[in-house]
Amino acid sequence: MKKLFLYLGLLLVAIYIFLTFFFIFRDTFKEKSKDIVANTIEELSTEDTVDAIDYINNNEKNTLEDTDLKTNVNVIECYKVGIKNGFVIVYDGSSDSVYEYTGIDANIIKATDEDLYREIVNEIEFDTKEDMFDFLESIAS
């Protein structure tokens, strides 16, 4: 039993020493890190800072010019609505890859409106995403 109290006493003393050193040196490390940051900022000259700002501004202008050139190109974004495996599906018009699976059952459309079903089988093309989603909303309800 005496050994247990001895070990507990040593453990408490070790924890006390650890916490004391931790709180003493914590403030010291904070001050040192503040000094390092302050010295680094002082070492930077205003000329370097101005050069860095000019560099960033020039890169932003070049990026804007690149995007302006890209927007001048006529990119036609279109979507096709068709039927695959009994469900209405949306294709990316430029690559004919699947854009979105809708989960709308084509058999229900066939039973209610056969003309619309034939149009969807032949793929209906939409110029904008909004028009395509409006159409999907109308056939889903």
The pLDDT score that the predictor gives to residue 2 is 81
CB atoms within 10 A of CB 104: 16
Q: Residue 77's CB: how many other CB atoms inside 10 A?
A: 11
Q: Are 92 and 99 in contact (CB under 8 A)?
A: yes
**141 residues of the chain, pLDDT tens digit each:** 888 888 889 999 999 998 887 777 776 666 666 666 556 555 555 555 555 556 666 655 555 444 544 444 445 578 999 998 889 999 887 777 888 888 888 888 888 888 889 998 998 898 888 888 898 888 887
For residue 124, give the H/E element and its range: strand 124-126
Q: What is the pLDDT of residue 95?
A: 73
The residue whose two tokens read 């000259």 is 45
- The two tokens of residue 82 are 């068709």
Distance CA 43, CA 91 (A): 58
Query: In this predicted structure, what is the pLDDT of residue 77?
Result: 75
